[in-house]
Amino acid sequence: MNFGAVDWILTVAYLLASVALGIWAKRYVENLAGYMVAGRKVKVSLGIATFVATELGTVTYVYYGELGYVAGFSGFIIGILAMVAYAVVGRTGFIIENLRRLRVMTIPEYYELRYSRRVRLLGGIILFLGGVLNMGIFLKFDGIFLSEVMGFGPGALAIIMTVMLLIVVSYTVLGGMFSIVITDFMQFVVLAFGMLVATIAVLWRVDLTSISTAVSTTLGASGVDPFANPRFGWTFVLWIFVSSVAAGALWQPGTSKALASESPEVAKKMFFWTGLTFAGRAMIPMFWGVAALAFFGPGLTSAAAMPKLLGAVVPPGFLGLLVAGMLAASMSTYSAYLLAWSSVLARDVIGCTRPRDFSESTTVAITRFVAGVIGVFLLVFGLWYQIPDTAFQYLYVTGAMYTSGALGCVAAGMYWRKANKIGAYASLIMGAVAPAGFLVLEKSRDALPAWLTFISDVNIAGILSFFLAALGMIVGSLASQRTSPPKHLTTAEQP
């Protein structure tokens, strides 16, 4: 076991502080807007902290660390692509500015304003399914990370992760976005410090020359050139860039930070500056993964190599800080995702099965209940499901189930006057087909007929989803202009 008494004290103290702070924040929740978007009063620096904390979970470190271990430096291009995509969204205000002006709380709400209530229902269902499937593997990867870093067996860690999930569910259910923003700030500070400690420890024990030698010896040109690496290539680069723009503008847990911001201008600044951190968000854990390749050599379980390195090089005492940082990262991610997906199910799915919305208090009650149910699902799914390909690609392909159709619907809805509800239906459905096909058919890759094997390539399934969604929107809208004239926002609804 790598954990000493000081490490335990730091970790337990941190967990207790998180719970106390999260539950204390409940006093600020006055209404639905308070619960879901913190009263729309979040300023730039606090917004950046909560955004980065949401987008950096332990699972993020593990999947990027895994990519560093198996692909060397060539995976670093993902950080560059994400940075450019988010910074462009922030600088231009692409989608987020209008969404914030419209004062919506979830993205499917826009579908009702621009298309119809039924489009909102379908969009809500796809968003919820894609989002919860995406989140389903978080717990498993957190377990891998902590079991290797702390030196426990996986059995004990399943219990620790259960406790952690219960803590997050409790304060998310009670305090909503207020709890998330307040705890995220503390978690951001702790996780950034934990990352700094880990990076210094890795640089201290593994020299850069041996890292370079390990990459060239083990991976050759594919370790430094993403276009020569069979795991990546042009299809991958194009998919990840488009996907990062779509996720930047339309991934509910992240976009909700723009919706909670004080103004559209604050939302744009928040996205721009957060975007600049995204190169480091990817490259720092990937660097730890590449260092693990140099330290241990190839042959380890890819997802476990980087955590094993941190367990070996971070000194006792600091290990507690690192684990607190990782717990911080996970808790902030879980809480934001739980609120995002439970809000969508309550408002955009359950609420849309009725002609009129539920009252605010009923919506908050349903959201709280759903957040608890999702927590139970995470435990069951995370421990049972075997992910295809790398965790990074699984997360992007499940995300594409929703983001491809959403990009088609929202971008066309805002910037193309001919977009109508038929195009929206086609975009949402066709965008979900390729990723869903990949997730189902990948399990029986060998039994597929030759003409269908392309769908078992995660990169092709990912980029295809965006192409099909755009095609669905354009063809569906143009073919039905007479039968379904486009609905435009009323003057009162205009941003």
Partner 1 sequence: MTAGALFWLILFGIAALVFFGIALVVTIRGVGDLRDLLSSSEHRVKEP
Which residues are at the interface with partner 1 (CB under 8 A)? 27-28, 30, 34, 38-39, 41-49, 52, 73, 76, 79-80, 83, 178, 181-182, 185, 188-189, 192, 195-196, 199, 208-209, 211-213, 215-216, 221, 223-225, 273, 276-277, 279-281, 283-284, 287
Contact indicator for 344, 366 with CB cutoff of 8 Å: no
The distance of closest approach from Cβ of residue 328 to partner 1 in the complex, given in angstroms and rounded to an integer, is 13
Decide whether 127 or 219 has the Cβ nearer to partner 1.
219
Question: What gap in Å lies between CA 213 and CA 231, rounded to an integer?
Answer: 21
The distance of closest approach from Cβ of residue 37 to partner 1 in the complex, given in angstroms and rounded to an integer, is 12
The distance of closest approach from Cβ of residue 360 to partner 1 in the complex, given in angstroms and rounded to an integer, is 16
Contact indicator for 102, 128 with CB cutoff of 8 Å: no
Q: At what angle do helices 318-343 and 58-71 cross, to 10 degrees?
A: 110
Decide whether 52 or 338 has the Cβ nearer to partner 1.
52
Contact indicator for 96, 271 with CB cutoff of 8 Å: yes
The distance of closest approach from Cβ of residue 258 to partner 1 in the complex, given in angstroms and rounded to an integer, is 15
Decide whether 166 or 208 has the Cβ nearer to partner 1.
208
Residue labelled with tokens 């978080």: 138
- CA proximity to 425, closest of 478, 490, 469: 469
Decide whether 274 or 465 has the Cβ nearer to partner 1.
274
Enumerate residues 6+ apart whose C-beta is below 8 A from 203: none
Tokens found for residue 490: 């009323």
For residue 321, the one-letter residue type is L
The full DSSP string for 153-188 is -HHHHHHHHHHHHHHHHHHHHHHHHHHHHHHHHHHH
User: At 261, phi and psi to the nearest 5?
Assistant: -75, 165
Decide whether 30 or 493 has the Cβ nearer to partner 1.
30
The distance of closest approach from Cβ of residue 25 to partner 1 in the complex, given in angstroms and rounded to an integer, is 9
Tokens found for residue 160: 């620790």
State whether residue 42 is helix, strand or coil.
strand
Percentages helix, strand, coil for the chain (3-state, rounded to 5) are: 80, 0, 20
Decide whether 225 or 357 has the Cβ nearer to partner 1.
225
The distance of closest approach from Cβ of residue 493 to partner 1 in the complex, given in angstroms and rounded to an integer, is 26
Contact indicator for 407, 130 with CB cutoff of 8 Å: no
The distance of closest approach from Cβ of residue 14 to partner 1 in the complex, given in angstroms and rounded to an integer, is 16
The distance of closest approach from Cβ of residue 28 to partner 1 in the complex, given in angstroms and rounded to an integer, is 4
For residue 3, the one-letter residue type is F
